[in-house]
Amino acid sequence: MTHFHPFRPRALSLLKDYSRARFIADIGAGLTVGIVALPLAIAFAIASGVKPEQGIFTAIIAGFLISLLGGSNVQIGGPAGAFIVIIYGINQRYGLPNLLIATILAGGLLFLMGLLRLGALVRYIPVSIVIGFTNGIAVLIGLSQLKDFLGLKIADMPADFFGQVAVLSQHWREISPAALLIGSACVAIVLLWPKTYAMQRGSHDLKTQMKRWMSQLPGTVIALVGATVACYAFKLPVETIGSRFGGIPQGLPSFALPALSWDTARLLVIPTLTIALLGAIESLLCARVADNLTELPRHDPNQELMAQGVANIVTPFFGGIPATGTIARTVTNVRAGGSSPVAGMVHALSLLLIVLVAAPLAVHIPLAALAGILLVVAWNMGEWHEFARLRHFSLPYRTILLGTFVLTVVFDLTVAVEVGLILACVFFIYRMSTLFRVEPVALPGLAADTQVMRLYGSLFFGAVGKVEGLAEQVKPPCRVLVLDTEKLISIDTSGLDALQQLQRTLQRQGQALVLCGLNPQPASLIQRGGLADALGPEGIQPDLSTWLRQSQASAL
């Protein structure tokens, strides 16, 4: 029996029961998601410090592969807002070629994680850490967009939080009224544009029907088209995609082989781990959100990781950036009626068609409009209400959430998650150690030379101190210390060592140790560790009552 997870894409299940009605619904959902994805792909790429076409090519190639090979019926993959800060920092520090190499290496790591069935491990990351770094990334995304939102003439924006604050504070007097107006209008449109799924159903009122028809068009697209038309018609003095990047190529991306070498790969360990970690967390969180929105079969986390891996291996060869599952587009897919991976593949193909037909029009898109859209994305990404609820939770929860948030903002995601996990482990160890108890037990008819103690919880390395001091509490005339372990759930090697040390100390004092009511796990470790042999047949009893009857009978 193999320990590897089989490569079985969810799309293969379509061969069983895929109807014409589902196919039509998937095409409609895919076209809707493609329209939503276009402005986001462009905005994410520009905010990440790369060319806009790199975001579009990522949405096309990675989006198609993730849907084709993934383990979810409805998840949509592509460039994600959570990656903006990560990509920008890696691009600034290591350069674009090394960013592409790190993405390829991260893809290999993601595929390996899925192959080794490690998809479930991502679920063990505490929710406080996820909320902390998600809110931190949202703050950094919002901060990074102020430059274009305000129309500031800043040639090179730093990647770190304090550097960005310092540069923005130096240039705030250079605010462009036109850029601020365009950006603010886009924010208002995206926030206030009516949502189809929030409307009343069944109404035949003309106004309601018209409103519902208009709401079929995403607010991001309305904002982008409106801002572009306004800037072009009124010749507003704002920076556009054309003035900064020269436009978007009208055609397919070309294949290019990054210069991959072992010396380069060694320098990219941290960026690789960061991309892989964030990609795994984001994709599986998104898939879990999608599972809760539909009654379709739940996603396969290991297959999803393998699909993410393949997508991130292939996409950089065409200039693409890291990709993962995206919550906004996945939810849009579900709301639009998508029920199979076909919708995700149609979304990628529709983006490709838009690039082939309408790419020249992108030169007029104002960067302030994209910045406004991303400000809304950052706001929606953050779970700000969790800060208000912190007072209802324990000190460890508050410490981990706030610590992860601050470290994400001030340092980076990798440091934040590492420290957050360390804090979570420390608090967990402390909590588990407080749950372990040793309490004296009073039994009728107990001999004066016998003392009984009952153990509760788990005897592990964080709780051994409560056992190490028992020998000092056993004073003459006591000759036998009985430990009732019926409530002892588990024991580790440190706990075993503590019991062995207790047995030796008591033996030197002329006293005996008896264990009663061992559960399977402690009994197995005590047997394998040699303590059972040291105690002998009389030192291991099935339960406390049996031992008491035997001791009373021997006393008679």
pLDDT in tens, 58-88: 999 999 999 999 999 999 999 998 899 999 9
Q: Which element (helix H / strand E) includes 202?
A: none
Q: Beta partners for 483?
A: 453, 515
Whether residue 450 is found in the same domain as residue 542: yes
The number of residues making up the chain comes to 556
Whether residue 396 is found in the same domain as residue 319: no
Residue 448 lies in a domain: yes
Lowest mean pLDDT among 5-14, 261-270, 283-292, 403-412: 261-270
Whether residue 473 is found in the same domain as residue 428: no
Whether residue 342 is found in the same domain as residue 428: no
Q: Are 480 and 511 in contact (CB under 8 A)?
A: yes
Cα–Cα dist 138/245, whole Å: 25
Whether residue 430 is found in the same domain as residue 440: no
* pLDDT tens for each residue of 503-542: 999 999 889 999 999 999 999 999 999 999 999 888 999 9
Average pLDDT value for the chain: 89
Indicate the pTM of the whole model: 0.83
If you average pLDDT over residues 168-175, what whole number do you get? 91
Token readout for 265 is 């790969």
Cβ neighbours, 10 Å, residue 203: 12
Whether residue 355 is found in the same domain as residue 399: no
For 267-273, which contacts have Cβ atoms below 8 Å and span 24 or more sequence positions?
267/94, 267/98, 268/94, 268/98, 268/101, 268/102, 268/105, 270/414, 271/86, 271/90, 271/94, 271/98, 271/99, 271/102, 271/106, 272/102, 272/105, 272/106, 272/109, 273/106, 273/109, 273/414
Residue 175 lies in a domain: no
Q: For position 1, what pLDDT does the model report?
A: 43
Amino acid at 270: I
Predicted confidence (pLDDT) at residue 212 exceeds the cutoff of 70: no
Predicted confidence (pLDDT) at residue 144 exceeds the cutoff of 50: yes
Q: Beta partners for 440?
A: 453
Q: For position 45, what pLDDT does the model report?
A: 94
pLDDT bin (cut points 50, 70, 90) of residue 203 is: low
Residue 394 lies in domain = 389-434
Whether residue 419 is found in the same domain as residue 537: no
Whether residue 123 is found in the same domain as residue 30: yes
Whether residue 329 is found in the same domain as residue 355: yes
Q: Which residue has the higher pLDDT, 374 or 446?
A: 374
In sequence order, which residues have a C-beta less than 8 Å from that of residue 54 and are 6 or more positions away? 45, 319, 320, 321
Work out the percent of the chain whose per-residue pLDDT is above 70: 95
**Domain end position, chosen among 379, 399, 434:** 434
Whether residue 440 is found in the same domain as residue 548: yes
Burial of 448 (0-12, 13-18, 19+ CB in 10 A): exposed
Count of structural domains, the chain? 3
Whether residue 440 is found in the same domain as residue 430: no
Whether residue 460 is found in the same domain as residue 507: yes
Cα–Cα dist 31/221, whole Å: 13
**Helix or strand or coil: residue 250?**
coil
Instruction: Match 């360390």 to its residue by tokens.
Output: 422
Predicted confidence (pLDDT) at residue 322 exceeds the cutoff of 60: yes
In sequence order, which residues have a C-beta less than 8 Å from that of residue 101 and are 6 or more positions away? 258, 259, 260, 264, 265, 268, 316
- Among 304, 386, 331, smallest CA distance to 138 is for 386
